[in-house]
Structure 1
Amino acid sequence: MSAPPATEPQVASSPKVNWPVPPPEGFSADDLDRIPDLPSHTELIDGSLVFVTPQKLFHWRVIRLLERRLAENLPEHLLVRGEMTVTIGPKQRPEPDVLVVRAESEESEDVGTYPPDAVLLAVEVVSPDSMVRDRERKPQIYAQAGIPHFWRVENDGGEPKVYVYELDPATRTYVARGIHEDRLKVSSPFEIDIDLTEMHRM
């Protein structure tokens, strides 16, 4: 018996906005490439679309600082990327704020998303509207996918506080490796030394 043809996601119309209507089984990772006019940085978490609110200045500054300083410390076989999704199975396509990926994963300019085995580090900068996702659900998804390193950055009175985690491959859960204020200095996944107070000069 042949499988039924794939159907395009439906869009509900109103005078002001068109809202994608999920199929009964939820959206799939591929739907992010097919649904027209999705807002920038839309993610797929557990089969549901997640729309991102406008960035606050803290969020923007931390991302720029980490992207710049990570790029300065990277081994040649790694790259820093932002605004790119990771496809983790059919129902998960999150977009970390910062990624460190293996350079070999970019064999083509047509790369639009990364597989989890291409990702060495995922970073989430927590926003008020994304606390539960960034603190709980997304780390679970990254760990279950086998991404070796995860950082969570919190706004601590206007200063960044970085929580560093490393994957326990036996349990597919993250183990806390430290909390960093003022300075982020670690030896894994590679030698990194970042003055976090520099964020205010971004």
Structure 2
Amino acid sequence: MPAESFDVLGWFNEGWTARMALDLLPENNGPRVEVLDGCVVVTPSGCLDRRTVQRELGYLLKQAAHRVGMWPYHEVNVISGDDLFIPDVAILRLSGGGQTAMDIHHAVLLGEIVSPGNRRKDIIDRPREYAAVGVPFFLRVDLRNRVPTIALYELTEGEYRPVAAAAAGTRFVMREPFEFSIDPADLLGEEAAPDESAEAE
């Protein structure tokens, strides 16, 4: 059996585990490959807006998290038992340097950028899964109608309860697990591009 080939997906009838996926499937910069309840879930790369928000948010969170000794990542492999998650945003208690994956119990905050085709996963399923294993905070960014909103939830008695939220044009402010604020509109990073036709004139 050749190692690290997607062909292996057709060779197993039994359920998959996070460790099997990490050992047998190739690393890639394209589709996201996760494992949930024994099934491999492959998700194509998101739209340009989603990737822009992920880049901008990751950059800004990195500065804020490092000030309090936490480690921010985006699209990091997170192992939860036999499941393998790849959240859009992960704030960890320790560095993942040199690692392929991190245990979910190192996560202080996990976040998802809602995709139009995966709204149920990002709004209902994924936070429920993170809450079940005790991740203290969940962050959600929604880009519906290209109007970014951010909401932060804190785990209380086994469920996430909202503690801060804001839409584009207002200020999102959070105090825990570290101080961070932003106008969600800034996440799209849209500045007027030069009008080439005007320059030609």
Same fold per TM (> 0.5)?
yes
TM-score by length of 2: 0.81
TM-score by length of 1: 0.81
Among candidates 151, 161, 166, match of residue 180 of structure 1 = 166
- 2:57 is matched with which residue? 66
* 1:85 counterpart = 2:80: no
> d(CA) in 1 for partners of 2:173 and 2:154?
15
Offset at residue 19 of structure 1 (A): 6.4
Offset at residue 38 of structure 1 (A): 6.7
User: Between the two proteins, what is the percent identity of the paired residues?
Assistant: 24
Matched letter for residue 158 of structure 1: R
Q: CA RMSD in A?
A: 2.4
Offset at residue 8 of structure 1 (A): 10
Offset at residue 23 of structure 1 (A): 4.4
Q: Secondary structure at the match of 1:163?
A: strand
- 1:191 is matched with which residue? 179
Q: For structure 1, which segment, 41-50 or 143-152, has the greater mean C-alpha deviation from structure 2 after superposition? A: 41-50
> d(CA) in 2 for partners of 1:197 and 1:80?
21
Q: Secondary structure at the match of 2:16?
A: coil
Which runs of 5 or more structure 2 residues have no equivalent in the other structure? 191-201
Q: Secondary structure at the match of 1:55?
A: coil
- 2:93 is matched with which residue? 102
* 1:152 counterpart = 2:140: yes
Checking the alignment, whether the CA contact within 8 Å between 1:20 and 1:35 is kept in structure 2 is: no
> d(CA) in 2 for partners of 1:44 and 1:175?
26
- 1:71-107 deviation line (CA, Å, top 9, x unaligned): 12123420110121110111x111000111112x53x
> d(CA) in 1 for partners of 2:177 and 2:11?
38
Which runs of 5 or more structure 1 residues have no equivalent in the other structure? 1-6, 12-16
Offset at residue 21 of structure 1 (A): 3.3
Q: Which has the higher helix share?
A: 2
> d(CA) in 2 for partners of 1:45 and 1:194?
33
Offset at residue 147 of structure 1 (A): 0.5
Matched letter for residue 62 of structure 2: A
> d(CA) in 2 for partners of 1:143 and 1:25?
27
> d(CA) in 2 for partners of 1:201 and 1:38?
29
* 1:20 counterpart = 2:9: yes
1:34-73 to 2 correspondences below 5 Å = 34-37=23-26, 40=30, 41-73=32-64
How many residue pairs match? The answer is: 184
Report the CA distance shift for 1:175/1:22 in structure 2 as closer, same or farther (over 3 A): farther
- 1:14 is matched with which residue? none
> d(CA) in 2 for partners of 1:159 and 1:85?
29
Offset at residue 138 of structure 1 (A): 1.1
Q: For structure 1, which segment, 28-37 or 51-60, has the greater mean C-alpha deviation from structure 2 after superposition? A: 28-37
- 1:4 is matched with which residue? none
- 1:126-170 deviation line (CA, Å, top 9, x unaligned): 1122212111111111101111000111113112111221101x3
